[in-house]
Structure 1
Amino acid sequence: MLNLSMKPTGWFQIGWSAEIPPGGVKPMKYFGHDLVAFRSDAGVLTVLDAHCPHMGAHLGYGGKVKGDCIACPYHGWEWGAEGQNTLIPGEERRIPKKMRKWHAVERHGILFLWHDPSDLGGKPREGWELPDIFAHPDLPADPQDFYPCYPDAIVFKPDERIHPQLMTENAADTAHFRYTHHAPEDPVLLEFDTSTTVWKSQMGFLNKHTKEIALRLHARNAGVGLSFTIFEHGALGRRLVLSCTPVDDEISDLRVSYFFPRDPISPEVMPEHVRKMARQTEELFEEDARMWRHQRFRQQPIFARRDVEGYRALRKWCKQFYEAEGYPIGPLKVMEDE
């Protein structure tokens, strides 16, 4: 991806909570760093650098949870939830060196990691909000009124050669819905707000016959690579978390998480008609991913006039997340009349 860093600042999804049960250990790699995630017997999640300071073994492959610590599979050294050394077998001493801990949070069954290339493992910056898919100020909802996204309404596409910027630009892209997703009418970007580190926008889909707004998409983008969308519609009402998390300088892991409203007739078990909608999520994702996999990022694109306002605002907003190497985004060009 030409001069576009794969190490942006912000929040990123690294998995789903149910993938790491109490006592569970999972190896990960994001932003070029080997990581290990483990859950204590009491259920507390911790993410650390993966390699034991003793002899460099990867704790994610064979490491065992011992209470609230993880034990190295090589020589049994144990490390606590703050990365501190808690045990050297056969010795009374502890070493002062800590393993780097990464700031991770769980929300509605989804795991999120804070990444700051200037302060690896540091706490989130003040004002850098992680949106809550159920706490929208205009459309709040009780999470208990929705089926969990995992495992029935998710998509996981690891190791994709896709940059998170490509996914993020869908927030301002109204024209692709007709051609990529076969929408009968082009939606309208009704409003957007770039005043904070969260992109806020509303897009309206028009009824083909009445030309009135039939479906509204309320989007919250937490930087590049993480998008929260509410579908405001009776039958199609649902909530979506879409993520693209860089693994290294070449590839990303992509995830889709849908929250469907519970059916009053079957509130505990997702009924077949909802499962059918959930199964369609992969094809909906593929409609976009087929473009992204082969797309060439244009630092100086040529846009149609109707799109340039939203794109210009979005790309200007995106610049704040690219603090690592690589000049992020160049100026825009507008398609001139011939």
Structure 2
Amino acid sequence: MKPVGWFQVGWSKEIPNGGVKPMRYFGEDLVAFRSETGELSIMNAHCHHLGAHLGYGGKVVGNELACPYHGWRWNGEGKNTHIPYQEHTVNKRLKTWHSSEQHGCIFLWHDPTGAAPRWSLPHMFDSFRDYLDMDEEEFYPIYPHGARIWSKEEVHPQITFENSVDSMHFRYVHDSPLDPELLEQDYHQDGSVFRTLFGFRSIKHNNEITMTFDTRTSGVGASFNVFKGSYNYRVLFSATPVDDSCSDLFNTIWWPRKPGDQGDMPEDIQARVDKEILTTVDEDLLVWRHQTYVNRPLLAKQDVRAFKALRKWQAGFYDLPPVE
């Protein structure tokens, strides 16, 4: 449960300017806060004074976070900047974590060696221009109606992302009437990104492919998916380790706006998104919660190349050497 990479830990609108949110990931208590000017910081949660958790009752003062116990202040770099009842501060920092906000989602960089980010994330819009050129403004806001979290599930992230090469589970897990097929030489590997392109054929249209979806998985933490054709929506799925036994699972949906609609997601689309897309994770979880990881699985002939390639690629995100 200690892979290297970027992992989602929330949505930007959960933490407004001056907001504070407690978190727990990778076995550590964390606190995220946004300064009054809008800058997001994530750091270890317990004040070095007497160990109070800064995420429960802590208050943002300007660009700093004040401890709820005795008012000691810490800036976004983890430095103690103010002790109300003495002139001098302490020369000890709270550990800070690299974070990134993209398209309304918050990501945390994890590396057991303490190295700075070794690669960047795909972008839900810029990374897919060659496949389907649409801008964020053409979709309804993702939060809160297109976002859902499953907390503390006893699921390893790596198991969830094997779906990215598994064409046959759609029929049995999601009751899909047709099996998608891998297209364009099955898959592509590009450093930290594993890309697959699936196609769905339609019986109503002479068995022609009427919808495809492009999946770009970043490490073992996040999967960016763009659907094109019969529907043109986007899905970000993330699995983030909480500790050595469980993960938080995040699902985020971008659904195209109705022509001329500039408001939030309408109720009829909210219901459709929840029923048809967000709940697919519930269906997967029926398997994932009770699944054991088979190191050398028996594979059907059509699965061998893609599964072996994915697992070999995934193995590269564990036990990375320190960056010199």
TM range (shorter): over 0.9
CA contact (8 A) 1:102 1:114 kept: yes
SS in 2 for 1:244: strand
Q: Say if 1:62 and 1:272 are closer, same or farther in 2 by CA, change over 3 A.
A: closer
Aligned to 1:275: 270
* Pairwise CA RMSD: 1.3
CA contact (8 A) 1:129 1:198 kept: no
Q: Distance in 1 between matches of 2:268 and 2:294?
A: 41
Query: Does residue 40 of the first structure (1) align with residue 35 of the second (2)?
Result: yes
Q: State the 1:282 CA deviation.
A: 3.2
Alignment partner of 1:87 out of 82, 91, 98: 82
SS in 1 for 2:279: helix
5 Å-filtered alignment, 1:282-297, equals 282-297=278-293
Q: Distance in 2 between matches of 1:140 and 1:104?
A: 27
SS in 2 for 1:159: strand
Identical positions, percent = 47
CA contact (8 A) 1:158 1:252 kept: yes
Aligned to 2:240: 245
Q: State the 1:283 CA deviation.
A: 2.2
The gaps in structure 1 that reach 5 residues or longer are 1-5, 325-338
Aligned to 2:165: 172
Q: Distance in 2 between matches of 1:160 and 1:12?
A: 15
Aligned to 2:125: 134
SS in 2 for 1:62: coil
Q: Distance in 2 between matches of 1:267 and 1:285?
A: 29
Instruction: Encode CA deviations 1:103-159: one digit per residue, 9 max, x unaligned.
Output: 11111111000101111xx4201xx22010111141232111111111001121101
Q: State the 1:208 CA deviation.
A: 2.6
What amino acid is aligned across from residue 215 of structure 2 in structure 1? A
Q: Distance in 1 between matches of 2:129 and 2:305?
A: 25
Q: State the 1:189 CA deviation.
A: 1.2
CA contact (8 A) 2:66 2:73 kept: yes
SS in 1 for 2:134: coil
Q: Distance in 1 between matches of 2:255 and 2:304?
A: 33
Number of residue pairs the alignment of both structures matches? 314
Instruction: Encode CA deviations 1:76-121: one digit per residue, 9 max, x unaligned.
Output: 11000111111011222122211111011111111000101111xx
CA contact (8 A) 1:184 1:208 kept: no
Query: Does residue 15 of the first structure (1) align with residue 10 of the second (2)?
Result: yes
Alignment partner of 1:317 out of 297, 313, 316: 313
What amino acid is aligned across from residue 143 of structure 2 in structure 1? Y
Q: Say if 1:239 and 1:45 are closer, same or farther in 2 by CA, change over 3 A.
A: same
Query: Does residue 258 of the first structure (1) align with residue 246 of the second (2)?
Result: no
Aligned to 1:160: 153
Q: State the 1:265 CA deviation.
A: 4.2
Structure 1 outlier segments of 4+, above 4 Å: none
CA contact (8 A) 1:26 1:37 kept: yes
Q: Distance in 2 between matches of 1:140 and 1:265?
A: 19
Aligned to 1:206: 201
Q: Distance in 2 between matches of 1:226 and 1:253?
A: 12
5 Å-filtered alignment, 1:116-131, equals 116-119=111-114, 122-125=115-118, 128-131=119-122
What amino acid is aligned across from residue 157 of structure 2 in structure 1? P
Q: State the 1:269 CA deviation.
A: 3.2
What amino acid is aligned across from residue 49 of structure 1 in structure 2? N
The gaps in structure 2 that reach 5 residues or longer are none
